Amino acid sequence: MATHILRRVLGMGGVPPGDNARAHSWERRLHGVMIAIALASVASVYCTELSDEAGLRVVGRVLEWGIFVAFGAELAWMLHVSSEKLRYLFNNWLDVLIVLFAGLALAGADTEWVALARLLRLATVAMLLTRASAPLRGLFSPGGLPYVFGLAMVAFLAAGAGFYWLEPTVHSYAEGLWLAFVTGATVGYGDIVPTNTAARLFAVLIVLVGLTMFSLVTASLAAFFVGEDEKLLRRQTHRDIQHVKQDMARLIGDEEAQVRRELHADIRRLREEVTRLREELRRQGLIREE
């Protein structure tokens, strides 16, 4: 329940729980496709902002239009099949912003509002990556920590190569990796800084990726320690339950043994009393000797 509320606050709530089966079915069908389209936004930004080749810029524009059309079509179709349209819009406000920002960026790309279009494009990429990261919630678990470290390592290794390629003041891969780390960690020592447009735009993406990675690492570490505490608490609870069961069994056994002893003593006294009464009756001649 808490996870569903968090996803709804982040604009990734999906189909409302009480919606019809058709809407849930279409959500499952489109899930993987929309993640792939969201990840294509990274390539679109590279082609449109970081590349000077006309062909790649055309590819970037095509990707941007594809992302805009795909998310707009998905939103329209899901509203069509959903029985609770207002709740679906409320749960998935991030998709609405993605379509809006992507459209504004496309509209302003060829006008004097180029800087605004770039900002909108980067904001759209950030929202798309947030949308694509929804399946990563499984990493927020004690067992997900190695995967988070592996993902962060791969991301920063790739970012180091990107800075080595784009930034002219970076003369080795090690320097590119260092710049990627201090940028992603938002430390900014200033010993190496991006100096051209391509490297600066790439640095903006790395800041977004770095914040995501460090947040994942922090959350996974917290989940790991919380999970260890939960395991310890479960073990202690299990031991306490076993001790209680043993104590109850012992008490029940002791009570049963005591009841048996008292019952045997009462039976013995009753037999002795019956024997005494029979002897008394014989002496009085009320009963015959057998």
Provide the token pair at 148: 């988070």
Quick one: pLDDT at residue 121?
Answer: 55
More confident residue, 166 or 286: 166
**Quick check: 122 pLDDT over 80?**
no
64: number of Cβ within 10 Å: 23
pLDDT score recorded for residue 283: 76
Task: Look up residue 278 and give its amino acid.
Answer: R
Range picked from 68-72, 195-199, 207-211 for highest mean pLDDT: 68-72
Global pTM exceeds 0.75: no
Other C-beta atoms lying within 10 Å of the C-beta of residue 60: 21
Domain borders along the chain are 1-132
DSSP character for 15? Answer: S
Looking at residue 89, its pLDDT comes to 86
Q: Give residue 145's pLDDT.
A: 64
For the chain, the average pLDDT equals 76
Q: Average pLDDT of 170-186?
A: 88
Reported as a pLDDT band with limits 50, 70 and 90, residue 152 is confident
Between residues 171 and 244, the one the model is more confident about = 171
**In sequence order, what are the residues at sequence separation of 6 or more whose Cβ sits closer than 8 angstroms to the Cβ of residue 209?**
129, 155, 159, 184
Residue 37 has pLDDT above 70, yes or no: yes
Is the per-residue pLDDT at 70 higher than 70? Answer: yes
Q: What sign does the dihedral 55-57-59-62 (CA atoms) show? A: negative
- Rg of the Cα atoms in the chain: 36
Q: Angle CA(166)–CA(167)–CA(170) in degrees, nearest 5?
A: 125
pLDDT at 77: 92
Helix, strand, coil percent content, the chain, rounded in steps of 5 = 80, 0, 20
Average pLDDT, integer, range 111-137: 56
Which of 53-57, 90-94, 139-143 tops mean pLDDT? 90-94
Q: How far is CA 145 from the centre of its chain?
A: 12
Distance separating alpha carbons of residues 18 and 166, to the nearest angstrom: 50
